[in-house]
Every structure is written in C-alpha cells, then in structure tokens.
Amino acid sequence: MGNIADKLVQVTQGMKIDVGHAALTVTKALDYVGIDDKSHGRRVGLICHRIAHLLGWNRTRRHFILIAGMLHDCGVSSTTVHRKLVAEIEWEGAEEHCLRGDQFLQSFPPFSPFAAAIRYHHTRWQDLPPSLDDETREYANLIFFADRLDVAYASFIISHPHHEALLSRERLLAELAPYVGILFSDEIYKAATHAIQKDSFWLELREEYLDDAIMEALSSEDYEISLSFDEIESLGELISQVVDAKSPYTHYHSLRVADLAYTLSGLAGLEPYQRRILRLSGLLHDVGKLRTPDEILEKPGALTDAEVAQMRSHPLDSKRVLNSLFPNTPIAKWAAEHHEKLDGSGYPFGWKGDQIDFPTRILSVADIFQALCQKRPYRHRLNIEDVLEIMDVMAGKGEIDLSIYGLLKANKEELYTIAIKT
C-alpha cells in the first residue's frame, strides 16, 4: 500500500508530460468517435507533417503541425457529426466544432498554442481573416487540406486493400484539385503533389505503422514540460468536456461524478492526495463512451441486447486511454471498474466483494447517483427521494457499498445539489 500511496503523492505534486505524447493519447480517445475508423486524427497529423517537409518548414514547425493536426477534431464528440465530416468536402455547421475545439484547447495551457489553427481549420483559404498571421493561416489551411485528403483515403480503403492506394495516389489527390485557390492554397497543393509520390506517405497511414511513424516524428524534438496537479486536472477537465458534449443528456455528467466522488471521499476520510486522484478518475471515467454511437446514448426506449453489448465495452476503452495518459497510477483501474458491483453482477470483469477497492466503490456510487439525478432521453430528472428509493434496492441486493451509501444518505441534500448543478 505504501508504494501506491507514494505514487499518488508524486502525481498530486505534479508530473512531467510530453506535449506531443499527451496529444497522441488524447487523439486516440478522440478517434473513438469514428467508431469503425479510429485513426482519422492521427492520420491527419501525420499527413500534415509529411507535407510540411515538402513545404520546407523547419523541425519546430513540423512538430507543431503534427500535434495540431492530431488535435484538429477535439471539438467533435458526436458520431453523427463525425459521419458528416467524412462524407462531404464542405458541410453546413462545420464551424461549430471548430469553435468548440478552440474553446477546449484554450482551457489547457500546453494545448492553447494550437487553438487558433483549430479554430479556422474548416475556413476556406480565400476566406481566412486578414487579421490572422501568416503562420496560423498556413497551419489552418494545411490541416483543412490534410483532413479532406484523409477523407478521400478513408473512403478508398473501405473497398480496396490499403496497399492499392499506391496505385491510386494521383486520383486521390485529384479529388481536391478543383478546390485549389478556393478552399486550399496553391502552395500546399503543389507540396502535396510531391509528398504523395513517396510510398511511405501512404503505407504509414496503415494502423500497424501509424503510431511508430508518429512517435518517430515526435522524438525529433523534446517538448517535455512539468505540470502542476492543477494543470493535470485542467487536462482532465478538457477531456471530460469533450466526453460530456457528446450528448445533451450527458452534459456535466463527468464533472459532477468527479465532484461527488471528491466530496464522498472526504466524508469517508480519504487522504487529500487520494481524493484528488479519485476526482481525476471521475472526470475521465467515461472517456470510452466517445466510441458509443449517439443513437444508443440518446435512445428514448429500452436498448436492444446488441446495443447493451456495445455500451458495455466503454470501461475497457477508457482503461486503454488512461493507462497511456497516466501510467503507474490507479486512475485507469478505478475508471475501468466503476460499473462493477459487490455481488459480482457488474461489468466488465465481474469482480465481487474485496476484489473491488474502496475508491472504486466511491466512484461507482457517485456515478449511479449522478446518472439518476440527471435527465435522460427516457425519463425526466428524478427527485432525491425517488433516487434513494432506487438505490435502496441496489443496497439491499448487496450491489453497492453500504458504508458509502450511508454517507450519501446522511448528506443527501448537499450531494443532490452537486449532482444537478449546471
């Protein structure tokens, strides 16, 4: 236990984080929104980096555009919006996710330098505001170009083996030719005509090569910085905003679960450093839900067995992202196990009794309580007595921790206020 406690204390005192590697991990979470195509953000980043070489950009600018390209769709949480993004060159409403992405990135200082490029990455080259500096104009337009080129590539590989992109490289690029000088700068298009001639340009877009190519590019510069725990929490809040924006029925869910877990853990007597780490896990516990289709989250009626099965994969999707972002901490473990129940009826592991640790039990109670307090597509918000009536049944079945639930009931008004805060 002492070793775990030492690690928790170290995290709350701050940690070193590489901005590029953090962006890669966040992008993997964002790419969940594509469901079947879970590499779009990373491919766009790599395409930007490769074309930047042919534009003659120096190492610092290439590193910048790689990260910006990976983060470009951080304003997209909805699978419905993602389908529009990959179906059309331009579409009405595209600017909305650009504005949201700008806002999200501004909230986390290490990512804020990329915000302006993301803000304008669906703005036509000829319509970019004159007030933008030249570098930001180039960054935004290169992201726009790479994004649309990847859409052409992704459509191609649906019905063709990946390697056949080498035989169709000219045709794929030609899909964007009619928009040169209007949507895209002539200089970027010319650089792309040379970049696509390299077989590696296309082959490294394959999933089995993609991360290695990105990691090699990221290692060319040392962007490691030290973050305070307040800054780490701001990263968690950024990601939670992306997750909670997925549906109007999940707005503030992650933030309120985090605040409930923090308050309950204080009532339970946990140490301050444990409480802060648990709050961070609460912020991120549902990151795997980015992979859940909107129509499941917003379905007004009962889910089918197949839909339930798809929903039940989200804890392991969360675990994968959080283990990469916060290694050597229990953050991923707590998040992945928040649907476990003490009687063994939970998922995904079916743990029971002492297999479920105390912080996880707190997070589970906080998640259940907040979900019942929040409006959902199939019902209105429940009042506190109705919530407790449902949870009384769960407690009676031995599904949730009685000591934690007792603390919740003893402080029900305070916790209900936290749960419904908007």
> Does pLDDT of 7 surpass 60?
no
Question: Of the candidates 181, 183, 68, which has an alpha carbon nearest to the alpha carbon of residue 116?
Answer: 68
**Mean pLDDT, the chain, whole residue set:** 89
At 135 the pLDDT is 97
Q: Check residue 91 and give its pLDDT.
A: 73
Q: Which CATH number fits domain 17-224: 1.10.10.60, 3.40.225.10, 3.30.360.10, 1.10.3210.10?
A: 1.10.3210.10
Residues with Cβ within 8 Å of residue 126, at least 6 apart in sequence: 181, 182, 183
For 143, the token pair is 């992201």
Task: Based on the residue annotation, tell me whether 289 is a catalytic residue of this protein.
Answer: yes
What region, left, alpha or beta, does residue 251 occupy, with left being phi > 0 and alpha being psi -120 to 50 degrees? beta
Which of 60-74, 244-258, 383-397, 400-414 is the least confident region? 244-258
DSSP 34: G
d(CA 151, CA 36): 14
Sign of CA dihedral 323, 218, 233, 29: negative
Confirm whether pTM is higher than 0.75.
yes
Q: Closest Cα partner for 71 from 35, 39, 24?
A: 24
- The DSSP output letter for 226 is E
For the residues 411-418, what does the mean pLDDT come to? 97
Beta strands in 327-408 (DSSP E): none
Determine the Cα–Cα distance for residues 275 and 398; give it in Å rounded to an integer.
Answer: 25
**Contact in structure between 66 and 46 (CB atoms under 8 Å):** yes
Contact call for residues 237 and 107 (beta carbons, < 8 A):
yes
Task: Look at residue 225 and give its three-state secondary structure.
Answer: strand
CATH 3.30.565.10 fits 228-420, yes or no: no
Question: Position 69: which residue type?
Answer: G
- What pLDDT does residue 244 have? 83
Identify the active-site residue in 28, 38, 246, 289. 289
Structure tokens belonging to residue 330: 């229990």
Helix (H, G, I), strand (E, B) or coil at 377: coil
The length of the chain, given as a count of residues: 422
Whether 1 shows a pLDDT value over 50: the answer reads no
pLDDT attached to residue 3: 59
Across residues 91-109, what is the average pLDDT?
Answer: 88
What average pLDDT does this structure show over 227-247? 83
For the ranges 40-44, 78-82, 122-126, the lowest mean pLDDT is seen at: 78-82
Burial class (CB in 10 A: 0-12, 13-18, 19+), 354: exposed
The 10s digit of each residue's pLDDT in 152-211 is 999 999 999 999 999 999 999 999 999 999 999 999 999 999 999 999 999 999 999 999
Asked if residues 58 and 92 have their Cβ atoms less than 8 Å apart, the reply is: no
**Confidence band of 6 (pLDDT split at 50, 70, 90):** low
Tell me the per-residue pLDDT of 270-283, one tens digit each, with 9 for 90 and over.
Answer: 999 899 999 999 99
Comparing 17-224 with 228-420, is the CATH topology the same? Answer: yes
Residue 57: exposure state from Cβ atoms within 10 A (0-12, 13-18, ≥19): buried
Tokens of 290: 């980015």
CB 242 within 8 A of CB 74: yes
Confidence category of residue 81, pLDDT binned at 50, 70, 90: low
* Residue spans per domain, the chain: 17-224, 228-420
